[in-house]
Amino acid sequence: MKKGWRIVGVIVLVAVLLGAVAVGVGLMTGADSVRIYSVLDNRYHITMYYEYAQQVMDILLAELA
């Protein structure tokens, strides 16, 4: 099982590195960071996940208080 998690970790690391390289190349070739964010948000719904995480944190903090 430990070997399986290592493989999953390597795949995630490679995906993150490729994403960082793609954003870096986009910035170096003159793309606007707002445009890069909007393209990624349209594809991967970054804003939706961020708002969901905020709502979960608000609920957890309200329950703990």
Which amino acid, one-letter code, is at 33? S
Q: Mean per-residue pLDDT for 39-64?
A: 93
Residue 57's pLDDT band, with cuts at 50, 70 and 90, is very high
d(CA 51, CA 24): 25
Residue 31's pLDDT band, with cuts at 50, 70 and 90, is confident
| pLDDT above 80 (res 1) | no
Distance linking the first and last C-alpha atoms of the chain: 38
In this prediction, residue 22 carries a pLDDT of 86
0.75 exceeded by the pTM? no
d(CA 51, CA 40): 16
SS3 at position 3? helix
